[in-house]
A and B are shown apart, each in its own frame.
Chain A
Amino acid sequence: MRIPGSMLFSSRYRLRQKRLHPITKEWGLTFYVLRHSMLAVVGGLIALAFLLIALFGSMLAPYDPISANIQDRFQPPSASHPLGTDTMGRDVMSRMLAGAQHSIKAGLIVLAIAVPLGVLLGGIAGLFGGWIDEVIMRVTDMFLAFPSLVLAMAFSAALGPSLFNAMIALSVVWWPMYARLVRGQALAVRETSYVEAARSRGASNWHIMFKHILPNCLSPILVTLTLDMGWVITAAASLSFLGFGAQPPIPEWGRMVSDGRIYMLRAWWMSVFPGLGIVLVVLGFNLLGDGIRDSLDPKLRRLTEVTWKREKTSSSSTD
Chain B
Amino acid sequence: MEARENLLVVDRLKTQFFTYGGVVEALDEVSFEIERGEIFGLVGESGCGKSVTATSILGLVAKPGKIVSGRVLLDGENLVGKSEQEMNRVRGSRIAMIFQDPTSSLNPLFRIGYQVAEPYIYHQRRAKRQALKDATGILAKTGLPDAVEKSRNYPHELSGGMRQRAMIAMSLTCEPDLLIADEPTTNLDVTIGRQILDLVKDLQREFGASVLWITHDMAVVAQMCDRVGVMYAGTIVEKTDVRTLFRNAKHPYTERLLRAIPSAVKSADKLEEIPGSVPQLIHPPTGCRFHPRCDHVMEICSRVKPLEQEVEPGHTVACHLFGREREGT
Contact = CB atoms under 8 A, between A and B. Distances in A.
Interface of A: 22, 129, 192-194, 196-204, 207, 211-212, 215-216, 298-299, 302
Given A197-B99, A197-B170, 20 more contacts: A193-B101, A194-B104, A196-B99, A199-B91, A200-B91, A200-B96, A201-B97, A201-B118, A201-B119, A201-B123, A202-B87, A202-B89, A202-B90, A202-B119, A202-B122, A211-B110, A211-B118, A215-B109, A298-B108, A298-B109
A62 B135 CA distance: 62
Q: Which 6 A-B pairs have the closest CB atoms?
A: A201-B92, A202-B92, A202-B91, A193-B104, A200-B97, A202-B88
A76 B138 CA distance: 75
Interface stretch (B149-157, B209-217, B304-312, B321-329): B149-157
A153 B298 CA distance: 78
Interface in B116-135: 118-119, 122-123
A207 B122 contact: yes
B58 interface: yes
Q: Report whether over half of chain B's contact residues are helix, strand or loop; otherwise say mixed.
A: mixed
Given A298-B108, A302-B157, A204 B88 contact: yes
Nearest to B173: A201
B93 A216 contact: no
Given A207-B122, A299-B156, A201 B91 contact: yes
A299 to B, nearest CB: 7
26 contacts: A22-B152, A192-B104, A193-B101, A194-B104, A194-B106, A197-B167, A198-B107, A199-B60, A200-B92, A200-B99, A201-B97, A201-B118, A201-B119, A201-B170, A202-B89, A202-B91, A204-B85, A204-B88, A207-B122, A211-B107, A215-B109, A298-B108, A298-B156, A299-B156, A302-B154, A302-B157
A303 B108 CA distance: 16
A192 B88 CA distance: 19
Nearest to B103: A193
B105 interface: yes
Q: Could you say which of A193, A199, A201, A215 has the most chain B C-beta atoms within 10 Å of its C-beta? A: A201
A215 B118 CA distance: 15
Contact of B97 (A194, A197, A203, A211): A197
B60 A194 contact: no
Nearest to A19: B129
Contacts of A194: 104-107
A202 B60 CA distance: 10
Contacts of B105: 193-194, 196-197
B38 to A, nearest CB: 21
Count class of interface residues, chain B: 35 or more
A200 B157 contact: no
A129 B64 CA distance: 12
Interface in B62-89: 63, 84-85, 87-89
Interface string B162-192: 0000010011000000001000000000000
Nearest to B93: A202
Contacts of B180: 200
A129 to B, nearest CB: 8
A215 B115 CA distance: 14
A207 B92 CA distance: 14
A302 B171 CA distance: 28
Contacts of A198: 107, 118
A198 B114 CA distance: 13
Contacts of A302: 154, 157
B136 to A, nearest CB: 14
A136 B60 CA distance: 25
A205 to B, nearest CB: 8
A193 B167 CA distance: 12
A126 B60 CA distance: 18
A204 B109 CA distance: 19
A217 to B, nearest CB: 10
Interface string B51-64: 00000001010010
Contacts of A199: 58, 60, 91
Contacts of A202: 87-93, 119, 122-123
B99 A203 contact: no
Nearest to B88: A202
Contacts of A207: 122
Nearest to A298: B154
A129 B90 CA distance: 24
A66 to B, nearest CB: 50
Contacts of B123: 201-202
Q: Could you say which of A194, A207, A215, A216 has the most chain B C-beta atoms within 10 Å of its C-beta? A: A194
Nearest to B101: A193
Nearest to A215: B109
A201 B169 CA distance: 12
Contacts of B104: 192-194
A200 B62 CA distance: 12
Contacts of A299: 156
A200 B88 contact: no
A291 to B, nearest CB: 20
A311 B318 CA distance: 69
A267 to B, nearest CB: 54
Contacts of B58: 199-200
B99 A193 contact: yes
Contacts of B154: 298, 302
A202 B123 CA distance: 8
A304 to B, nearest CB: 15
Contacts of B152: 22
A299 B171 CA distance: 27
Q: Could you say which of A193, A197, A216, A298 has the most chain B C-beta atoms within 10 Å of its C-beta? A: A197
